Every structure is written in C-alpha cells, then in structure tokens.
Amino acid sequence: MNIEEGFALRGRNPDVLTCIANLSNDEVFTPPEFANRMLDTVAAAWAADHDGANIWADQTVKFLDPFTKSGVFLREITKRLIAGLESEIPDLQERVDHILTQQVFGIGTTQLTSLMARRSVYCSKFANGQHSVTRRFNSETGNIWFERTEHTWTAQDKCKYCGASKATLNRGEDRESHAYAFIHTDNIKTRIAELFGGDMQFDVIIGNPPYQLNTDGHGTQARPIYHQFVEQAKNLDPRYLSMIIPSRWFSGGMGLDNFRESMLSDNRIKSLDDFLSASDVFPGVGLKGGVCYFLWDRDKSGPCRVATHYKSEIPSVATRPLLEDGADIFIRFNEGVSILKKVALTETGNSKTVELPKHRRFMDLVSSIGSFGLGSTFRGKDRPSGDDLKVYRNGGIGYLPRSEIDKEQHVFDKWKVYIGRAAPGTGNKDTYPHRIISTPFLGEPGSISSWTYMYIGPFETKDEAESVLSYLSCRLTRFLILLHKPSQDTTRKVYTFVPTQDWTKIWTDQDLYAKYDLSEDEIAFVEKIVRPMDLVGNLFGEVAVEDGDDA
C-alpha cells in the first residue's frame, strides 16, 4: 500500500479512535470530533491575528502535544496540514515528510500511549518501521518521544515535582511510574531541547493532560495535576495554548487556589468553553463537575468569550471578564452574573463589587466540617442514659455523654439546622436540574453531629431554625450555593454568596425573587438549574433520607 492509498482509506474505514476504551477517569482519550473542535478554535484565532491567514497552509508552524495518548490531536493536525500545504508542497510524500519531521511533535504519557500515538500519526508503532508513512526518521520514536521517567522523592516521601506519594507510586520498573516528563523537570525549555534537539519554539501547544494522581491518606484521595501541565506549557511561551481540563479549578480547592487565581487574572485567555456534563465530551466517563477547554493567546489580551454547553441545548455565550470585581472565583453561568450582582453587589466608594457585607454573610452561621470532633465512623450508644447528647451520624442516631465532647459546647442546647457535608448523587453524572445540597433538617437542643453533618446556627428558637430551613429549600438560595461549589463537597465556603435574611418568617422563592427583583428570564434560568426541594418529613428529630437524584 502506498502513502496515498493509506490516507485515502482512513476516510472510508471506521475511525478506531472513536471507540477505544479510556485508560481511567484521569487519563481519558479525546474523541476526534472534540479534538477538531479545539483545532477549529486555534485556527480561527490564528486567522483573526494574521489577517485571515490559514494556519494549515503555513509550513513553518510547529505544534506540540506534550501529553499525547491516542495521538488524536497530532493525527488531526497532520491531516489538516496535508490538505493545507498541497499548493506549497505539491508532492504528497515530500509534504508528509516535512510535516512529520518539522511541524508535529508529541510526548507520550506512557509506553503504551506512545505506541498508540505513533500508530495514529506514522501508521506504525515505530517511526522508522516498515509501514511508517515517512522514511525520514532514524529512530523508533521519531518526533513522538517517550522514555520512562522516575519521581524524585523528598525526605517526606513525596515527589518533588508532582507531589505523588512514594508509598503509592514507587512500585518497581514493571509498572508505569506516572512520572510525566513534561512536569518532572526544573527547566522545561532545556528539557524540550534535549528531547527534540535545538532551540524549539512551538507556535501551538494543545492537548488533554492527565487530570490527577491517586495519593495515600484518609480514604481514597486524588491529587489534581492538570494545572501543572498548564503552567509548564505557558513556560514554553507558545503563541497559542489550548487544553481540555476539569472545570473544578473555577472554585479552587485541593491545591488549585493559586492556579485559579493565576488563570482568572490572566486576560490572555481568549475563550473558555465550559461543559456542565463531562459525559457530553467523554461518553461514559464519570468526572464530576464537568470539563472545559480554553484558548490562551500570548499576544492578545482583553475580556474572554465564555460559552456554557449542556447536552444538545444552544450554548450560552457572553464576552466578559473571567473574574468579576470582588469575586474570588469564576462565575460559571453567564446568566448567574446578573443574578449574583442583584443579590450581592456592594458599592465601595466609586466602584461596585460582588461582595456581601460582613453582617449579611450566611457563611458565618455555618460550622466547619467535623466541628464537634466526631469522625465519620462514629456510632455511639443505641440508647440514651442520663444527660447524653443525641448525635446525628452517618446512617442514623447515636448517643454519648456530654463530658466526652469539649468542642462547641455553647451550641449543645440551642436550635440548629443540620446539613450533609457532601451532596447526594447517583454516580458521577452531572444532570440538571438538581438539588445542589443534601436535604437539611432541624436539630433540637441537646443534639450534635458527627463528621457526616455540619450545623447552621445556633438559634434561640425553633421558629428561627425553621425559617433557615425554609430558606435553604429555596431554589435561589441553592443556586447561589452552586455558584461557589466546585464538587459534591459543601464546605462552609460554598455559602460565600448567600446573604442572611430575617429569620422571623418562612421563606419562599417568590419572596426572594421579589426581594431581589429577578427578571422572568433569570427566574426561568434558576428553575431550570435547581430542582425543588421537599422538606416534608425533615422536621424536628427526623434525619433526611435522600431520594437519590443527582446533586
């Protein structure tokens, strides 16, 4: 088979890259359609910045996928260049040789993925193999490099570069180390020169990095690492950078706070496409919180085009700052910006910021996780005796003597509202509308909770606690929580945008819509995103039983 036949057959045969199984939820293969969507975004930006020029017709442009897995980005780039450079380099073999040796580069994440990527791009798992579409390479790797890299362990048994646990990933040469070469270096420019030779300057860096590493500790934990790839790519100073990453960075947490701050303050991010459900991008992948891809334009600054996607609905698109004045996170929904400003906009001198005055912060009523010092496995006694405290715990109620708890004693005999520290859900799907939080319930005097619940309060009367309970059931309240909620965990920080109210009445959404003068469109959006919450059965002394809908 000659080279022309090989590329022609690709257009007729089913694309194997559309049906291969993912390695895991943190190393997922990018569907070809989605890779092409990202490449279209890059091409449009190039044209806008170069008087309409076609990036695929430029034989000097260099591309890098620094964490290639299936090779889909490199393959699709190659296909586009083959078509775009036809008039510049008419001979097909000469054109392919030039593209693969001078323009398209990749770094494999593992031995297996490097072989897959070479098979996708060179039509051979070895760049110099018998079936390779180019004869210009003398090595098996060609321009898709991979060599096993080791972690650099510190005295604390953590990797110096990625923070991986020695106990988890120091597991011998017969298994992958997951020490990704791109982020395991002190000088990425020097490292790239070592891999590919010479002073390499890439015009476009694009791809889908590994998302996390499992770590040891309390239960099964995962440490985000995708932000390290973004930061390292910026250090290479490309003209354009585009990556698809989890959307959880919008609100920070888990070591992402500095990354969030740097991204939101970087006005070179030209566009951000946010997908509320990761399954819309990666079918069958359980990745809570959705995914996004961004385009970073080194030489252009200004507001960002933000597009929010959900299933087959028409995307919501707006051009706005990534960081609203006064906010510390990215406001995920375009429609949420106007709603938030109506609820939490404060005038400070000559400026207006999204910030609640201290006396109006509902967050200050919410306890920290584990405030009473009882772990998630606490069981307690089945029956009370004497002056025991009732403990709302995972799966029911237990009892223990007051003398065994020395924390938060001032709330023991006050009214409270309890709420789960984690929102319920079915698997890892993101569906709308959903409830945002677990169903809250009243806590009577003489009660506390284990790690499973946080408390809101304390309150002197049952009426006040019931007022708060009604407020939490309102869709607008829970929408404000969602704006600051990066995952299923609902720490006190997710209540940042929620204002306090008058606790002498039972609240309804109609009350709140009227108080904050929401428009019909804003009300419709809130009710599209947030599901009604039925509090029947969650009154005094009864623990909420979740109905299993997505949170």
> DSSP letters along 346-406, please?
EEETTEEEE---GGGBGGGGBPPTTTTS--TT---BSS--TTPEEEEETTEEEEE-GGG--
* Residue 547 backbone class (left: φ over 0; alpha: ψ -120 to 50; beta: rest): alpha
Please state, in angstroms and as integers, the Cα–Cα distance from residue 547 to each residue in 123, 424, 489, following that order.
51, 9, 18
pLDDT at 1: 45
Residue 234 dihedral angles phi and psi, to the nearest 5° = -60, -35
Which range scores top for mean pLDDT: 58-67, 242-251, 349-358, 490-499?
58-67
pLDDT at 68: 95
DSSP code for 489: B
Place of tokens 């405290």: 389
499 preceded by a cis bond (ω within 30 of 0): no
Q: Is the pLDDT of residue 219 over 80?
A: no
Please state, in angstroms and as integers, the Cα–Cα distance from residue 302 to each residue in 14, 117, 239, 299, 305, following that order.
42, 36, 16, 10, 10
> Strand, helix or coil at 72?
helix
pLDDT at 214: 67
Contacts of residue 198, Cβ cutoff 8 Å, sequence gap at least 6 = none
How is residue 462 written in tokens? 């049952």
pTM, to two decimals: 0.86
List % helix, strand, coil for the chain (3-state, nearest 5). 30, 20, 50
> Strand, helix or coil at 519?
coil
* Cα–Cα distance, 225 to 164 (Å, whole number): 10
Q: Which of 493, 485, 491, 496 is nearest to 430 (CA)?
A: 485
pLDDT at 547: 41
Q: Is the pLDDT of residue 545 over 80?
A: no
In contact, 226 and 262? CB cutoff 8 Å: no
In contact, 331 and 340? CB cutoff 8 Å: yes
Identify residue 468 by its one-letter amino acid code: V
pLDDT-derived band at 272 (thresholds 50, 70, 90) equals: very high
- As a whole number, mean pLDDT of residues 478-489 equals 85
Q: Is the pLDDT of residue 503 over 50?
A: yes
pLDDT at 543: 45
pLDDT-derived band at 433 (thresholds 50, 70, 90) equals: confident
- As a whole number, mean pLDDT of residues 215-230 equals 73
* Cα–Cα distance, 268 to 240 (Å, whole number): 10
pLDDT at 476: 97
Residues 394-405 have pLDDT tens digits of: 989 999 999 999
Residues 404-424 have pLDDT tens digits of: 999 999 999 999 999 998 876
pLDDT at 485: 84
What is the maximum span of the chain, computed from C-alpha positions, in angstroms? 92
Please state, in angstroms and as integers, the Cα–Cα distance from residue 242 to each residue in 63, 276, 358, following that order.
11, 19, 39
- Domains of the chain by range and CATH? 3-323 (3.40.50.150), 362-529 (no CATH)
In contact, 465 and 442? CB cutoff 8 Å: yes
In contact, 343 and 480? CB cutoff 8 Å: yes
Please state, in angstroms and as integers, the Cα–Cα distance from residue 250 to each residue in 44, 213, 242, 274, following that order.
25, 20, 17, 10
Q: Which residue has the higher pLDDT, 253 or 325?
A: 325
* Cα–Cα distance, 544 to 392 (Å, whole number): 10
In contact, 189 and 236? CB cutoff 8 Å: yes
Least confident of 274-283, 319-328, 347-356, 449-458: 347-356
- Give the residues across from 489 on adjacent strands: 422
* Cα–Cα distance, 415 to 400 (Å, whole number): 19
- As a whole number, mean pLDDT of residues 514-527 equals 96
* Cα–Cα distance, 384 to 115 (Å, whole number): 64
pLDDT at 424: 60
Q: Which residue has the higher pLDDT, 488 or 480?
A: 480
pLDDT at 21: 53
pLDDT-derived band at 31 (thresholds 50, 70, 90) equals: very high
Helix (H) or strand (E) holding 518: none
- As a whole number, mean pLDDT of residues 149-155 equals 94
pLDDT-derived band at 197 (thresholds 50, 70, 90) equals: confident
Please state, in angstroms and as integers, the Cα–Cα distance from residue 514 to each residue in 272, 482, 523, following that order.
33, 21, 10
Place of tokens 């945002």: 436
Query: For 270-370, where are the alpha helices, taking DSSP H only?
Result: 334-344
pLDDT at 3: 55
* Cα–Cα distance, 144 to 65 (Å, whole number): 9
| Beta-carbon-side half-sphere exposure of residue 169 (alpha carbons within 13 Å) | 23
| Beta-carbon-side half-sphere exposure of residue 498 (alpha carbons within 13 Å) | 27
pLDDT at 52: 97
pLDDT at 8: 44
pLDDT-derived band at 379 (thresholds 50, 70, 90) equals: very high
Q: Which residue has the higher pLDDT, 385 or 296?
A: 296
Mean per-residue pLDDT of the chain = 88
pLDDT-derived band at 18 (thresholds 50, 70, 90) equals: low
Q: Which of 44, 39, 13, 19 is nearest to 31 (CA)?
A: 19
C-alpha 478, offset from chain centre: 20
How is residue 299 written in tokens? 């030489």
pLDDT at 546: 41
- As a whole number, mean pLDDT of residues 446-462 equals 96
* Cα–Cα distance, 477 to 487 (Å, whole number): 17
Sign of the torsion angle spanned by Cα atoms 29, 33, 34, 37: positive
Q: Is the pLDDT of residue 348 over 90?
A: no
pLDDT at 534: 82
Axis crossing angle, helix 475-482 with helix 462-473, rounded to the nearest 10: 70
